[in-house]
Structure 1
Amino acid sequence: MEVADGARPRVLVVGAGLAGLGAAQRLSSSRAFPHLRLLESTGRAGGRVCSQRFGSEVVEMGAHWIHGPSKENPVFQLASDYGLLDEEAMSEENQQIEVGGHPLLPAVFYSSAGRVLSPELVEGVRNLFSTLLDQTREFLHVPQVSVPSVGEYLRKEIAQQVKEWTDDDETKWLKLAVLNTYFKLECCVSGTHSMDHVALGPFGEYAMLPGLDCTFPGGYGGLPDCMLTSLPKESVLFHKPVTVVRWGGSYREESQEGRTFPVQVECEDGERFLADHVIITVPLGFLKEHHETFIDPPLPPRKADAIRQLGFGTNNKIFLEFEQPFWPPDCQLIEVVWEDESPLVEAGTDLQASWFRKLIVFLVLQPPERYGHVLCGFIAGKESEYMETLSDAAVLTALTDVIRRLTGNPHLAPPKKVMRSQWHSAPYTRGSYSYVAVGSSGDDIDALAQPLPEDAADPRPQQVLFAGEATHRTFYSTTHGALLSGWREADRLLSLYDTSESHQHKPRL
């Protein structure tokens, strides 16, 4: 028997990042959900995928690469279907390369003493750090770990290694300084202030897919834009920040006698939406700050604890455009080594005096014929958050001083343009992405993903569902984790209502 449209379930999706778009796209491809609304707090779709103009070219303020672009990666598959990638990225050869993380690019190491470090010395240290980092992933199912964090494990192992080094003192210090650069680089990868905050036991649960990391020639933002155009136009509402999600209630719609809904979503502008189900896809950083007032009745203790215990850090980018490059023509990566630093020595905490020391890697945007001479620097942690409070002019001055020091050229022309991301200040994001912090585990990720009400026997199940990168146990912090989590929650609802069609819907392109 055909169900009247008015009686069909109403679904609200909060947040138009990849998780929210993925869920909405999956649901809109089913006839069971004609009443679908997607509420986005800002004026654009994409969330932490954010392509912006820098001069005449598009740069990525948020997500940069497709990590592991291969058949198992839904972001790669969707981008391929939309024709957003170049032929090289889609080649079988690229999809089969196992890089175990970021590929190695032609790099130059500049030191704070104004010299270029020998590639041989750097390569030996990089291999050591890589080996030790691989070891940290072997504690996954160990009942008891000797130290709580990845950082402490690495330092303990390095301290043992140093005892066996036969180099002269100057070389030892230089090797330790290079190791410190890799610690900071790993903070950017993990989105944390310090590797001392990242839990050792669960670290190996994060999964990497095969494929050589690739970028979008026309900007990552092309993906959410394409997903958005596949949705019914009237279903997406921008500039609709949600202030509270009320669930477990009985809310009667004024215009339709007799129909009540368990969920009411209130927006900042006072508008209210009634629904049978709401899929919340807001970032963990936002939930950390607002979960006590954002969801009513309050979250069960287990879920609230998971929000508090999981990590969510800041990783920002600073783009610098130069009239002329100071780096060699074949260089694609500039790494910075502060010769007076070591992972075995406590770092200073004066952010004002030393925030720029956390900026230890610059990507040379390729190809230069298209971008000109543009560097993209990565900076994580408290230093990154402090950087957000400074003016563009202050950032430009500080980085001009740093680059003059690195090159040993006090007269080097300053960059002609600067632009940076400010993810910690973004009110609906409050950081970049999640990690499994000391005191938390993958079980917290699963707890965060658990729908409400928790009692499966409840007559009105799955009123509040949760998606987003922080809810994917093995792909947290990634765009493919976000997309998969949105599909997961859409499939929960499809399995409740959609008996006529396969639950594995291919989204409408």
Structure 2
Amino acid sequence: MINFSKLRLAAFARTCRLLQTRWGSQLVECGPDLSEQGICAVDPCDPSQCFDQPRVVIIGAGMAGLSAAARLATKGITDFTVLEANERPGGRIHSCWLGDVVAELGAHWNADSVTSNPIMSLKAYEDPPRPGVPAAEHPRGLMDRVVAGKMEFPTTITAYHKFRQIEKEAAHLYALGGSKQHGSMLNFMSIRIQQELHQYPEEQQHDAARVMFGLVHMLQAKCAGDAALLCADHGGCFMRLPGGDVRVPLGLVGALAPLLRQIPDGCIEYCKPVNCVYWGTSPKTGYRAVVQTTDGSEYPADYVIVTVSLGVLSQCHDRMFCPALPGAKLDAIRCLGFGACNKIFMEYCHPFYYWHKGDLNTLNVGGTSFAGLCGWLQGLGRIEVVPHSKHVLCAYLSGDGAVSMESLCDMDVAEGITDVLRKLTANPNIPYPKMMLRSHWCTDPYFAGAYSYDVSNSGGQAQRALACPLPGGSDPVPPVLLFAGEATVPGHYATVGGARLSGIREAERIVELTVRLKGPPLPTDKPKETKVEAQAK
């Protein structure tokens, strides 16, 4: 039987050689982009040929660790283990339900959550897109489909006019600064768009949604201050109930779901605090590093991606690495600070702050409102109403006050915040909260703080030095330790987006090394099996 696939490949190869002979360097490479094939970038005509995989251990299942694991998996490297000290993924992303909102005890959305933000892109461009989410990619333009070309003209026109009608409704409803019972303006518009989509025939609903939600993105660009609200409104899972799809908000933790779906089952191990990383082991073991956890388990590795927080690195570097980290790395750690910051969420039976004369969110303008406070309350920065909530307030603390707060009981914290609110509003009848959630980032041994900052104003040099792998690029030996996390990204430190970028950066470094070295950095003891031997087994 004639194998026509091999004949076609042979003909294609002869054509390429003929063109190369005739045109020389003017030949334009039009084949597949090998860099996108990861470790399978061996032969463009045979995508099944891949280099041997290195063994990778990732310390930490926060945004940096999960991003690195997901990128390795998409590039063909699945021989990795993620060791997480806690019983949950996410690291400093910790979303909890309280009352009528999701309380972000750790990282939270901010105003730069636009479509160029790596976290917004992670949530908004998931394939396939979630129902009701402005998630379908449209690189060819708002009125174009990715595959099928131009949309039908009547659908685009009616969708455009429907959006303008919704925009006028929102402008009228929120003309006086917002309506609490309707939530944010962008949330209201999103609900109205989903209602209008049901009026379209089923075959037109996708195109109409693309147009209207695309216009929402344009509106988002105009009102950047509300960009975070748009992201948070669509960050959730959808449940199909009688009558339609219902969105259940998840908060920022929803950004982890696309990453976790890309990671193979069994690659993440929870409740595995790391005791020591032995990265100077003998090559006779077949691996260049061994990661030991507190329960005595050992994980050999060719590469170790360290994503622990800067606070843990600062406190535990002397006993966490053997041999110890070099002086240049320790200098970089000392040049960066790790801030103490905590949040206190308080739920009330009734929104007393609506009755107060003035806006509760403006009570601390210039920092004068909290002057003269004593004890842990000196760390109080502001108290504000949680967006989209009718019952929940959030108090922010920093510095020594944030650390002291963690040692107090809930009753003492509630009493202190209530006294402050009564003084600020001149209302002695403000009740105590019926429920309270607060963070403990400073005393948590797996974080030892909340976020990094540049103490020495090094202009990013400290972050770059911390991100340098060990051994460095000038050494003849490929790196063993790779460092990721928000503290390793100049210009993006103290952000979730920075953590994601750092994880992708180190995963790409491993893929590049694997392709350049044509496999793991050390040859395996066993000879590679041939296909015939594998089939015989």
Same fold (TM > 0.5): yes
The corresponding residue for 1:469 is 486
User: How far off its partner does 1:304 sit?
Assistant: 0.4
Whole-angstrom CA distance in 2 between matches of 1:444 and 1:306: 5
Partner amino acid for 1:93?
Answer: M
Whole-angstrom CA distance in 2 between matches of 1:263 and 1:339: 52
- The answer (yes or no) to whether the contact 1:66–1:76 under 8 Å persists in 2 is no
Q: 1:283 to 1:339 in 2, by over 3 A?
A: closer
Whole-angstrom CA distance in 2 between matches of 1:413 and 1:360: 21
Whole-angstrom CA distance in 1 between matches of 2:228 and 2:85: 34
Q: Per the alignment, in what secondary structure is the counterpart of residue 327 of structure 1?
A: helix
Q: 1:285 to 1:499 in 2, by over 3 A?
A: same
Q: Deviations over 1:294-314 (max 9, x none)?
A: 112111111101112211112
The corresponding residue for 1:93 is 218
The corresponding residue for 2:341 is 315
The reply to whether residue 77 of structure 1 matches residue 121 of structure 2 is yes
TM-score by length of 2: 0.64
The reply to whether residue 442 of structure 1 matches residue 460 of structure 2 is yes
Select which of 506, 509, 513 maps to 1:489: 506
- The answer (yes or no) to whether the contact 2:369–2:424 under 8 Å persists in 1 is no
- The answer (yes or no) to whether the contact 1:322–1:414 under 8 Å persists in 2 is yes
5 Å-filtered alignment, 1:309-348, equals: 309-328=335-354, 334-337=361-364
User: How far off its partner does 1:477 sit?
Assistant: 0.4
Q: 1:3 to 1:275 in 2, by over 3 A?
A: farther
Whole-angstrom CA distance in 2 between matches of 1:440 and 1:46: 29
The corresponding residue for 1:140 is none
Q: 1:412 to 1:8 in 2, by over 3 A?
A: closer
Structure with the greater alpha carbon radius of gyration: 2
5 Å-filtered alignment, 1:220-239, equals: 220-239=252-271
Q: 1:329 to 1:428 in 2, by over 3 A?
A: same
The corresponding residue for 2:109 is 65
Whole-angstrom CA distance in 2 between matches of 1:462 and 1:3: 25
Whole-angstrom CA distance in 2 between matches of 1:35 and 1:464: 17
The corresponding residue for 2:377 is 356
Q: Per the alignment, in what secondary structure is the counterpart of residue 360 of structure 1?
A: strand
The corresponding residue for 1:389 is 407
Select which of 271, 293, 306 maps to 1:280: 306
More helix by share: 2
The reply to whether residue 400 of structure 1 matches residue 418 of structure 2 is yes
Q: 1:406 to 1:4 in 2, by over 3 A?
A: closer
Q: What is the percentage of aligned positions where both structures have the same residue?
A: 38
Q: 1:329 to 1:17 in 2, by over 3 A?
A: farther
Partner amino acid for 1:22?
Answer: S
Q: 1:404 to 1:79 in 2, by over 3 A?
A: same
Q: Deviations over 1:204-226 (max 9, x none)?
A: xxxxxx98784243211122233
Whole-angstrom CA distance in 1 between matches of 2:391 and 2:359: 11
- The answer (yes or no) to whether the contact 2:98–2:347 under 8 Å persists in 1 is no
Select between 216-225 and 329-338 the one with higher mean Cα deviation: 329-338
- The answer (yes or no) to whether the contact 1:306–1:440 under 8 Å persists in 2 is no
Select between 474-483 and 435-444 the one with higher mean Cα deviation: 435-444
Q: Which runs of 5+ in 1 are unaligned?
A: 105-209, 254-259, 502-509
Whole-angstrom CA distance in 2 between matches of 1:304 and 1:491: 25
Select which of 451, 462, 469 maps to 1:433: 451
Q: Per the alignment, in what secondary structure is the counterpart of residue 431 of structure 1?
A: coil
CA RMSD of aligned residues (A): 3.1
User: How far off its partner does 1:338 sit?
Assistant: 9.3
The corresponding residue for 1:423 is 441
Q: 1:311 to 1:405 in 2, by over 3 A?
A: same
Whole-angstrom CA distance in 1 between matches of 2:408 and 2:122: 38
Q: Which runs of 5+ in 2 are unaligned?
A: 1-41, 43-47, 135-185, 188-212, 236-248, 519-537
5 Å-filtered alignment, 1:2-151, equals: 8-31=53-76, 33-55=77-99, 57-82=101-126, 88=186, 91-97=216-222, 103=225
